[in-house]
Amino acid sequence: MSVKKISDFEFISLMASLMAIASLSLDAILPALNNIGLSIGITDPKDNQLLITTIFLGMGVGQLISGALSDSLGRKPVVYIGYIIFAIASVVCVCAVNLEMMVAGRLLQGVGLSAPRSVTMSIVRDKYEGNYMARIMSFVSVIFILVPIVAPFFGKLMLDAFGWQSIFYSQIIFGFCVMVWLWRRQEETLTDENKKKVTLSLFTDGVREFFKHREAVIYTIVIGIVTAPFLSYISSSQQIFQEQYNLVEEYTYIFSGLAIVIGVATYLNGILVLRLGMLRLVMLSLVLLSMTSLVYVICYSGVGNPPIMVLVAFLSLILFSTGFIVGNINALAMQPIGHIAGIGAAIVGFISTIITILLTTIIGQYINMTALPIFIGFTICGSVTLFVVLVMNRSKNVIVTNS
């Protein structure tokens, strides 16, 4: 069917909604983790983190398939296939009777969600490039960030009214509405002449081409490193606020309030990126993130958790910095590989996700009595990322100068 050209505002809203399916799947169940744990027999609170990290693992692995297919079949058909897998996986989660079945369902959910997650990046890259692409991604992220703000409230409402299973059913309904919106309003952005035949060489050639671009490889690794402590915060936030601070009812409000901080930073990034550039904003934000987390580590090592307002203040500064980092680094990683946007986005997502999961698992094992391990993670990962970015761009400038 023919599709009328949509405005930038509607395009941004649609892309954000596609990404928001994943965010809703992550954040809406946070208030229900204890209830889910009781239903499926979880005895160790650390196991609740698996319900968050496994969906990320599924998204990372699934992107290798969805990214390659989107370069061949088109962007929209792959999103539809991904949604069907996600819907089936959601039913598996509802029917779960033990941790293993729930983890399998969450992993399969991630595989399905990998399609809208990676294909969204490809669609944006098909239509835009450079700092303007980063600007569009920032505004996409602003709307996307609204989901973590409202998702815990929505999850709590569904939990209290209908039980935790209703949270998964609501995700299926929301995803279906977005699929209809995509079908009716967004044209296919992959032209016929740019489609590639589905072969093993499509993947292998894409991998070889990706690794030819040093900046894309380094920024992909950087994404994985700097995202790890952020995922650790998300996956352990319920344990920290509800169990360490005993703020059961207040948890939803605290988590949503901190999500607003990220949204404000992401919105400001969309305004500032055209003036200051992606790289400068990334480096300034990495400095703020690393220094803030280091101060926390120095002040609160070995003394237990600080008062809740102190913790929230430090997290606000760190998450504010994160709002400037993630979107820009993703755009920097995609910038050199626009000619293989589909498989390129898949490789970026797969490699960065595997790195993130490995580091998140390490950090999560140390979160017992205090939130200190998260701040140690932010300190180390932020500092390493800043060092790598500085060294890479210094060597790049030397090459350019010498040439």
Largest Cα–Cα distance of the chain, in whole Å?
A: 67
Query: Quick one: pLDDT band at residue 196, thresholds 50, 70, 90?
Result: confident
Q: Is the pLDDT of residue 23 over 50?
A: yes
Q: How far apart are CA 315 and CA 323, in angstroms?
A: 12
Tens-place pLDDT, residues 202-239: 778 888 889 999 889 999 999 999 999 998 998 899 88
What pLDDT does 395 receive? Answer: 67
Q: How far apart are CA 66 and CA 78, in angstroms?
A: 6
What pLDDT does 143 receive? Answer: 63
Q: Is the pLDDT of residue 160 over 70?
A: yes
Q: Is the pLDDT of residue 158 over 50?
A: yes
What are the tokens at 166?
Answer: 């209703």
What pLDDT does 399 receive? Answer: 42
Q: What is the dihedral of CA 237, 241, 243, 244, to 10 degrees?
A: 110
Are residues 115 and 83 in contact, defined by beta-carbon separation less than 8 angstroms? Answer: yes
Alpha-carbon dihedral sign for residues 203, 176, 149, 151: negative
Q: Is the pLDDT of residue 397 over 60?
A: no
Tell me which amino acid residue 122 is: S
**Which residue is associated with the tokens 């509405």?**
177
Phi, psi of 351 (to 5 degrees): -65, -45
What pLDDT does 148 receive? Answer: 73
Q: Is the pLDDT of residue 402 over 80?
A: no
Which residues have CB under 8 Å from 178's CB, separation 6+? 14, 17, 18, 20, 21, 116
User: Is the model more confident about 203 or about 296?
Assistant: 296
Worst-scoring range by mean pLDDT, 80-94, 157-171, 193-207, 322-336? 193-207
User: Is the model more confident about 13 or about 382?
Assistant: 382
Query: Quick one: pLDDT band at residue 6, thresholds 50, 70, 90?
Result: confident
pTM of the model: 0.79
> What's the N-to-C CA distance of the chain in angstroms?
51
What are the tokens at 280?
Answer: 């400068």
Length of the chain: 403
What pLDDT does 193 receive? Answer: 83
Question: Cα–Cα–Cα angle for 207, 226, 382, nearest 5°?
Answer: 135
Look up residue 240 and give its DSSP letter.
I
Q: How deeply is 302 buried, as exposed, middle or buried, from its count of CB atoms within 10 A (0-12, 13-18, 19+)?
A: exposed
Worst-scoring range by mean pLDDT, 90-94, 293-297, 351-355? 351-355
**Which residue is associated with the tokens 């079949």?**
73
What pLDDT does 129 receive? Answer: 75
Tens-place pLDDT, residues 27-70: 899 899 989 999 999 888 778 889 988 998 898 888 888 877 88
Secondary structure of 315-381 as H, E, C letters: HHHHHHHHHHHHHHHHHHHHHHHHHHHHHHHHHHHHHHHHHHHHHHHHHHCCCCCCCHHHHHHHHHH
Residue 69's nearest CA partner among 235, 179, 199, 170 is 199
Using CA atoms, how far residue 87 sits from 51, 121, 255, 378, in Å, is 17, 22, 27, 34
Question: How far, rounded to the nearest angstrom, does the alpha carbon of residue 190 sit from its chain's CA centroid?
Answer: 24
What pLDDT does 145 receive? Answer: 61
